[in-house]
A and B are shown apart, each in its own frame.
Chain A
Amino acid sequence: MKEFQLIDEVMPDAPPADQARVMAVRARMLSDGRRHRLPAWSRVALTAAAVSVVLVGGFIAAPLLGGPGTQTATALGPAAVLEAAADRLAARPPGTGAWWRRELVQVLRSKAMYGFTVEQRVEEVLWVNREGEQRTERGDVSAKPLTPADEQVWKDSGSPKLCEPSDDCQIGRFYFSPVDQVKPVANLPTDPEALKAELLKHFPVSGKENKEAWLWAVANWLLLNTESTPGTRAALYRMLADLPSARVTDGVTDPDGRTGVALMYGGPNALGQIVIDRDSGDLLALQDEQVPANGLDDVGTFNSYVVKQLGWTDEAPGSD
């Protein structure tokens, strides 16, 4: 029996939280960080925030709210930011050229033995031509302690090797459920509902997979590893934003410090993020955080595919 269990068991519990209110509090807290000029918290402001959370077709529109004297006129909720970015992306032509080229840096951060965090990086270029032929170029992996504090702990620990000698500093790829039958991806619908219906034709009937998780994984693959058109990419954003378990958050940053609006899926212990440029709708990064359920300030990993460039080009593999 834990200490004072009797008190925990006998005393009344708090009523369940209203999720709309929780999201309003969350948005308010984060918007405070972006503006630095909000007045002190007040019950009036909280009430306003709670009332102003609007659920529209699965989007969580949580406007950045403030009290008197704050700038709110131009602030858009994350869902509106994503919607506008998707509009701009969808308006872009598919592009010309013989090869589709995607350049990224995979960044993996994990806590090593002795408690310091190591960051490993590797560059990868994927080429796909109009016939569907693929080539992948992958560079050497670099590894270093993440921060000066990590470096100090590393040195204090006798500067141990940063990678396991057995794996020669290789880092694993996350594989996003390729669905070969959906090819050619260039012909996929540009309407989110039609796209979802088309993708779900390939949902495994026999398996016990969660439909949303499956759609999330397939969308990750289509965005990162295929030559899907701007229209289909925009539809993927909208399809994911519409999933009941997904949410849209503004102000998410990739390891290179680029900030965008993000689609989020999962919980605090395993959170997938698709970070999107607010203006162009370009994919900035696909990220995945794993945090152990018990000690949140304990070991975990953070993996990000930081997209440098993506699209059709006149270049060819080996020509750069």
Chain B
Amino acid sequence: MTMSLDGAVADPERFATVFDAHYEEIRRYVGRRLDIDIAEDLAAETFLIAFRRRGSFDAAKGTIRAWLYGIATHLIGRHRRAELRRYRALARSASPAADDGHDQRVVDRVAAGVTVQKLSAALAGLSRGERDVVLLVAYGELTYEEVAAALDVAYGTVASRLSRARTKLRDALGVEV
């Protein structure tokens, strides 16, 4: 047992510290991509899978965060249609509720023409791989290296997906993202 959470991953008794440190952000990440009832299940499943597979976690390949985000993203992939439905619904709706709690910066964005509706439509227009890398960076604030580790793809793949996604988003929104 060490104070590093790498050690906690391997130790079943200390895996609780991994849960305490990361559950909320993983739940939030999934909950921004899928409806909350599905997201609650997937966030829980992410940690159950992580707990069962804790012996296979390799700190040399990436951080615990990246590993957890990777598991969560893989699970989200099984609900790709639900995610697209969600974006399309957001794109259609006037959805004042969707803007509740947002701050002045969002109002500024809305004034600049980038709304939840337009952005949702633009996200729906990305491929699954492109959307994964974009949202891991946007919501999880993962570095490119972490995204590569999370998705088990090459660094160059992450860079090229981001580049393509950025072009598509710019074309759809009319602004650089």
Residues of chain A touching chain B, judged by Cβ–Cβ distance below 8 Å, are 2-15, 17, 21-22, 25-26, 28-30, 32-34, 41, 43, 46, 109-111, 117, 146-147, 150, 249, 251-253, 255, 259, 267-268, 271, 289-291, 296-302
Residues on A with C-beta less than 8 A from B141 are 2
CA distance A267 to B32 in the complex (A): 25
Is B39 close to A, CB under 8 A? yes
Do residues B21 and A33 form an inter-chain contact, with CB atoms below 8 A? Answer: no
Which residue of the partner chain, among A29, A41, A117, A271, contacts B2 with CB atoms under 8 Å? A117
CB distance from A264 to the nearest CB of B (A): 9
Per-position contact with A for B142-177: 1 when CB-CB < 8 Å, else 0? 000000000000000000000000000000000101
B residues 54-111 near A (Cβ < 8 Å) are 59, 63-65, 90, 97-99, 101-103, 105-106, 109-110
Number of A-B contacts (CB under 8 A): 159
Which residue of the partner chain, among A6, A150, A290, contacts B114 with CB atoms under 8 Å? A6
Is chain A's interface secondary structure helix, strand, loop, or mixed overall? mixed
CA distance A300 to B5 in the complex (A): 9
Residues on B with C-beta less than 8 A from A21 are 40
Given contacts A7-B138, A109-B2, A117-B2, are A14 and B39 in contact (CB under 8 A)? Answer: yes
Residues on B with C-beta less than 8 A from A290 are 3
Across the interface, name the chain B residue whose C-beta is closest to A2: B141
Across the interface, name the chain B residue whose C-beta is closest to A303: B3
- 24 A-B residue pairs with Cβ-Cβ distance under 8 Å, sorted by A, are A3-B138, A4-B134, A6-B119, A7-B119, A7-B139, A10-B115, A21-B40, A25-B47, A28-B44, A30-B19, A32-B51, A41-B48, A109-B2, A117-B3, A259-B13, A268-B21, A291-B5, A291-B17, A296-B22, A297-B4, A297-B59, A298-B4, A301-B3, A302-B2
Residue total for B at the interface (Cβ-Cβ under 8 A): 65
Across the interface, name the chain A residue whose C-beta is closest to B110: A10
Do residues A32 and B52 form an inter-chain contact, with CB atoms below 8 A? Answer: yes
Which residue of the partner chain, among A4, A109, A299, contacts B1 with CB atoms under 8 Å? A109
Residues on B with C-beta less than 8 A from A17 are 24, 27
